[in-house]
Structure 1
Amino acid sequence: MSSSVHITSKEQFSSLLTKSRFVVADFYADWCGPCTAIAPAYEQLASQLSRPNRITFTKINVDQQQDIAKAYGVTAMPTFIIFERGRPTSTVRGADPKKLSDAVRKLASEASKPDDADGSGEGSSGAVWIGAAAPKPYADITDQYEPKGLELLNRDSEFGTAKTLFDPSKPSALNNGKAKAADWVESDTDEQLMLFVPFKSTLKVHSLQVTSLPPADDDDDVPMRPQTIQLYTNRSHVLGFDEADDIPAVQTVTLQPEDWDSKTGTAKVDLRFVKFQRVTSLVLFFVDGDGDGEKLRVDRIRIFGEAGEKREMGKLEKIGDEPGE
């Protein structure tokens, strides 16, 4: 009996990415000679190293699951992609048993390390910090943002930039009070922030996580956590504050005090999924805060959903065959 899971739908694959810490995906085709040649070695690794909810080996037929192949830019077979906590971390292209074995055995060593129990740490090497459990069956797709296109209006230049919000590390404010001033964003002249986030591919956005960790202090200068957030989709540029007043938001969210996790300072923002199906950019307008202060603070933002098409799949080709074979 095969130890690998044959993927029959995008939903099945998304669910596995959420449930299993590591997922190894073998993108293959029935007509691909090198795919057939390396299949026994792949099955042997799957048989030896599969562990429930820790390491899952999958096989994805690119002719039957073209949407998945497109989402991860697979244009040649065989291609092996290794995922950690829903995010692709390494790729092996071609029928190279040694290279594949080395990559998989390295992740097996990582899988033997314990997970961070409360979700408020960085976990194993290369892991991305999230402040709350990912919504099943969706994956963390924060890495789909385009860094060069980020814009953040009304930020205080003494603190972090827009990129700080998507930093994969745990917020320094959670490191026993040893916070670094450049590790979060604060508003400048008033409590409002306007964030423009373009994406590398078309996304289905299910929800967000917003982390805000102002110090527990009664000082009037302590920044506030966000309260009202207006969201806009598929804008070509950042909105001006006056412009946002004239454009209906796709969704307006009001966060309550009980929405914030007491350990990680993270609030889950559930979206109307049907309205966020083909998203190429997001604008987040932080309208006000949860108090009477004059400044707003945001430490991290995480995005959850499904990554869509990055480019046209093009002509599928085999890796490992000489021309004319």
Structure 2
Amino acid sequence: MSKTVEITSPAAFAELLKSSQIVVVDFYADWCAPCKRIAPIFERLSQALSRPNQVTFAKVNTEQQKDVAAANSITSLPTFIVFRNGKIVDKVEGADPKQLQNMLQKLNQDVKSLGGEAGGSGGGGGGGTWRGADLPRGYSDITDQIEVQRSELLNYDPDTGGVRVLFDTAKPSALSGGKAPAKKDWIESDTDEQLLLFMPFQSMLKLHTIQLTSIPPPGDDDEDDEVPMRPRTIKLFTNKPHNLGFDEAEDLSATQEIILSEKDWSAEGTANIPLRFVKFQNITSLVVFVEDGDGEGERTRLDRVRLIGETGERREMGKLEKIGDEPGE
């Protein structure tokens, strides 16, 4: 269900600006072809970034709400405005992909300044965006560009968390101490040690680094085969339209293959894996194949996945014309 608010009156708009710290507004009209073309993109952003009373996405039909449009000096369609604490902080006129992308990046920084990325599930650690390793200089966390609803995880134990917990913005419960959470905020493999994770993206990405967090519980010599392992051999595949099968993943040539050892894991259980940047340009999806674990056990464990890099143009946007332009042939 969409989280986008349809503005029905000037009073409703004024109240929204008071009740939400950040408000992102799409000013549109039913007759505007570029408005219709970009509407699905706006809806996906709303689903990904909305946070109750903090970040709200709204739409204003300028034909029905002429006073609201006039008060905000709307002269072309579509127009996107970002309000913070009731004041305009950014504005994009027309359906310009580059300008919209820049606005989105600024919005992400605003969201993070509120104490955590939008769309996080809260998890066991509570409060704020957590990463187990520092960001490489000049790059940002772009995990929020993953289309979580279309992501797929194969061969995981259903008694552990599903694919969503891997992208949780909260600190893993295994690092928080205290009582274990009622619902496990990590995943473990099921029938053997292999895992296959498919992640499609909202936009084309340039991937610089992938950060994997794995925090197995301590064990003893008598139960080493029962304690889940950290991943050891990892194969990455780019731009696949869907997940691979296990036999396929074993046979295909990977975009990059990584073999991790104990020294690669930080004190917080995170492996910071630099990628061959030239091979990870203009990426629309990523498959992570955990081929085996580091030990003698039968299961592997993952607590978090973070993607580090740069965002590019949004997919499925096509050519978007400003108001007054003729549609392309």
The aligned amino acid for 2:214 is S
Partner of 2:232: 227
Distance 1:260 1:178, change over 3 A: farther
For residue 122 of structure 1, report the CA deviation from its aligned partner. Answer: 5.8
Which of 205, 221, 224 pairs up with 1:203? 205
- On the 8 A contact 1:138/1:305 being kept in 2, the answer is yes
Task: Answer whether contact 1:184 1:297 (CA < 8 A) is retained.
Answer: yes
Aligned match of 1:131: 132
Q: CA RMSD in A?
A: 3.5
Query: Secondary structure of 1:309's match?
Result: strand
| CA distance in 2: counterparts of 1:251 and 1:145, whole angstroms | 20
Structure 2 residue runs without a partner (length 5+): 1-71, 75-83, 116-124, 324-329
1:34 deviates by 5.4
Instruction: Report sequence identity in percent.
Output: 48
Q: Give the CA deviation at 1:247.
A: 1.1
Match of 2:26 in 1: none
SS at match of 1:201: strand
Q: Deviations over 1:78-102 (max 9, x none)?
A: xx94443xxx529xxxxxxxxxxxx
Alignment of 1:50-65 (within 5 A): none
Report the 3-state secondary structure (helix = DSSP H, G, I; strand = E; otherwise coil) of the residue aligned with 1:280.
Answer: strand
| CA deviation after TM superposition for structure 1 residue 255, in Å | 1.0
* 1:89 matches 2:111: yes
Q: Secondary structure at the match of 2:111?
A: strand
* TM value normalised by structure 2: 0.62
Task: Give the secondary structure class of the aligned counterpart of 1:71.
Answer: helix
8 Å contact kept, 1:73–1:313: no
Pick closer, same or farther for the CA change 1:73–1:316 going to 2, 3 Å.
Answer: farther
The answer to whether 1:255 aligns with 2:260 is yes
Q: Which runs of 5+ in 1 are unaligned?
A: 1-32, 36-44, 46-57, 75-79, 91-106, 112-120, 318-325
- CA gap 1:122/1:137 in 2 versus in 1, 3 angstroms: farther
Indicate the residue corresponding to 1:186 in structure 2: 188
Aligned equivalents of 1:292, 1:62: Cα separation in 2: 59
In the alignment, the residues of structure 2 paired with residue 252 and residue 270 of structure 1 have an alpha-carbon distance, to the nearest angstrom, of 11
Residue 231 to residue 62, structure 1, CA distance change in 2 (3 Å): farther
Q: Which amino acid aligns with 2:163?
A: A
Letter in 1 for 2:283: V
Q: Deviations over 1:23-45 (max 9, x none)?
A: xxxxxxxxxx959xxxxxxxxx9
SS in 2 for 1:295: coil
Q: For residues 248-305 of structure 1, what are the alpha-carbon distances to aligned partners after superposition, in whole Å with 9 as ceiling and x for unaligned? A: 000001111111111x111101100100001111000001111000000000000011
1: CA distance, partners of 2:217 / 2:111 = 34
2:90–2:103: 8 Å Cα contact kept in structure 1?
Answer: no
Secondary structure of the residue that 1:143 maps to in structure 2?
Answer: helix
Aligned partners of 1:265 and 1:285: how far apart in 2?
19
1:33-81 Cα deviation digits (max 9, x unpaired): 959xxxxxxxxx9xxxxxxxxxxxx989999xx774242577xxxxx94
**Counterpart pick for 1:266 among 270, 283, 290:** 270
Write the deviation string for residues 168-224 of structure 1: whole angstroms up to 9, x where unpaired.
111111111533352100000110001111111111111111000111112221100
